[in-house]
Structure formats: structure tokens, C-alpha cells
Amino acid sequence: MSRRVFSVAALALTGIGSVACAARFDPANFEGSREPRRAEPEAVRELAARTSELETLGTVHDSCRLRPGFRRLNDEPLSDLDCTTERLDWALRESAANAGGEALVGVRCGSRRLGTSASETYLVTCAASVARFKSGALANPGPLTPPRSLPPGMPAPSASDVTRIDQPESSLAFRISLRFEPKVSKFERRPRTGAEVKELALLPFADLPLGDLAATCEDGCDERALRYGVLVAAGRMGVPDVVGVRCFSNGASNSCVGTLAAPERDE
């Protein structure tokens, strides 16, 4: 397995996972020869180096811009607010699987600070070669073989796989844009994952509303992906509660909006 190196501590939180969307979108920018699909993203292997059993199809690379903290959002991509190497890695997997790949070879990730302003912004990047097995036990036996859904030797999903089951496809975060106008001048809480954010029907008595956050997909995304996007965005800004999420369509685009809220004192 490859070792990925990155320098920003905030990147340790997990990213978003995979649920299919109607339209194909590839933020990982695959370049090379495409072949029939052989594996689902979770079954794509990560290898440190290419072996004689593999043939190279091409390369993939993706990036996002991390700017931590609670702030106004003006059509900011969800992939930037929730910019993690985990998200980028899964985008590489999704792109490799769509190109017919079965392995990511030599995955490398890194980050660097952009500019010298007081507002911290980091460019986070990941890249790898995409390969498929041409011989050996893992080689595809025939054109009608269904895509591999789990790595060989794994009879059941791992805990991290289970966590991803209800989460949207990682690549969708590059299509979902966020708008948020804070109602408070300052709010500082620890960032959290989407799974840690509570979706509530009514505003708790102890909570203060912080403003409405809208997640929009211009080409139409699954409602579940947009709903989860609101929770992920809230968590990245340190907000523990989202109240009254409502979703609607407007022509080719669809959106989900929720009110961000938090107790006066951190729990």
C-alpha cells in the first residue's frame, strides 16, 4: 500500500463517500486510455509501484483549496470547504474505476500555503498512475465478468466502508456550490465531520440560529447528496446542528437549504 504525505493537521477529518449520480463527472482529470469497467471505486487497489502483472492506462490528479473557519460563503465548492486528502483519494478511485482501472500506483498527496494573507488557505493535491491487471490471479477472465465490488480476501465491508454507504459520491462535492450569510459576526468551534452534525426538525430552545446555508447543484444531483452536503459544510465550520432542511428544484438545478444553529456554549 502507498504512503501519502501531507502537512495540514486539519486534513485528518474524513471526507465524503459514494452514492451514484445520474451524470458522469471527473474532477480527477484522468488522462490516458479508457477501457471497460472492471472494478468499483472501493475495490480499486493502492500500490506503491507497478508490477509485471499490471498495464498502465494513464494518470489522474485532483486538487482543492482548504480555507478553515466559519465565514461567509459565496458559491464556494463543497470540495473546497471540505478539502481533505481522503476526498481527493476517493475522487482518484472513482476516476480510475470509470476509466477501467483496477489499481492506483504511487499515490502522492501534498499541500502548500497560498499567499501571505491572515486568512489561511492551502492548495491540496493528489495524483497517481492508473493501471489494470493483464495477468495473474486478479486478471479479468472475460468481458462479461461483473465489476469487482470488494477487494479479494475481504468477505465483508470494513468499518470505514460502512461509514461511506449513505454518503454521496466524492466527486459530487466538486459540483455542489455553497452559499451562506452569517447572522453572527464571530463563531469559533472545532471542525467536525458530517456524521457528527445533527439534523433537526425544530430549533432547540438552547440554540441560536447562525444563518441559512444553501447547497446547489446546477446539473441536478441526488437530493441525498445535497442534504448530506449541508451537514458536511456545517461541520467544517464547527456548527453542531442543522435545522429544517428543505429541498427544491429550479429548472436544471436543485438545492437544499438548512438553518445552521448552535448552543451559546460549546458542549
**What is the DSSP secondary-structure string of 104-129?**
EEEEEEEEEE-SSSSS--EEEEEEEE
Residue that is last in its domain, among 164, 199, 221: 164
The answer to whether position 113 is within a domain reads: yes
The answer to whether position 120 is within a domain reads: yes
Considering the domain architecture, whether residues 151 and 26 belong to the same structural domain is answered as yes
Considering the domain architecture, whether residues 38 and 155 belong to the same structural domain is answered as yes
The answer to whether position 2 is within a domain reads: no
Considering the domain architecture, whether residues 36 and 146 belong to the same structural domain is answered as yes
- Maximal C-alpha separation, the chain: 63
How many angstroms separate the CA atoms of 10 and 7, rounded? Answer: 9
Considering the domain architecture, whether residues 210 and 133 belong to the same structural domain is answered as no
How many angstroms separate the CA atoms of 63 and 87, rounded? Answer: 10
Considering the domain architecture, whether residues 139 and 187 belong to the same structural domain is answered as no
According to the model, what pLDDT value does residue 167 have?
61
Residue that is last in its domain, among 141, 164, 187: 164
Considering the domain architecture, whether residues 146 and 60 belong to the same structural domain is answered as yes
Considering the domain architecture, whether residues 131 and 204 belong to the same structural domain is answered as no
According to the model, what pLDDT value does residue 5 have?
40
Considering the domain architecture, whether residues 84 and 138 belong to the same structural domain is answered as yes
**Which CATH number is 153's domain given?**
3.30.110.70
* Residue 19, CA distances (Å) to 42, 95, 172 in order: 12, 14, 9
| Contact call for residues 218 and 253 (beta carbons, < 8 A) | yes
Considering the domain architecture, whether residues 116 and 18 belong to the same structural domain is answered as yes
Domain that holds residue 40: 9-72+79-164
Considering the domain architecture, whether residues 181 and 154 belong to the same structural domain is answered as no
- Cβ contacts of 42 within 8 Å, gap of 6 or more: 18, 93, 149, 150, 151, 157, 161, 164
According to the model, what pLDDT value does residue 168 have?
62
Pairing type for strands 122-133 and 241-250 reads: unpaired
How many angstroms separate the CA atoms of 132 and 114, rounded? Answer: 36
What DSSP element (H or E) covers 232? Answer: helix 223-236
Residue that is last in its domain, among 164, 191, 210: 164
The answer to whether position 4 is within a domain reads: no
For 102, list phi and psi in degrees, rounded to 5: -125, -5
pTM of structure: 0.81
Considering the domain architecture, whether residues 150 and 187 belong to the same structural domain is answered as no
Which neighbouring-strand residues pair with 55?
Answer: 132
Query: Over its length of 267 residues, how does the chain's per-residue pLDDT go in tens digits?
Result: 443 443 333 333 333 333 333 335 788 899 999 999 999 999 999 999 999 999 999 999 999 999 989 999 999 999 999 999 999 999 999 999 999 999 999 999 999 998 766 678 999 999 999 999 998 877 876 766 778 887 655 555 555 554 555 566 788 899 999 999 999 999 999 999 999 999 999 999 999 999 999 999 987 788 999 999 999 999 999 999 999 999 999 888 999 999 999 998 876
Domain count, the chain: 2
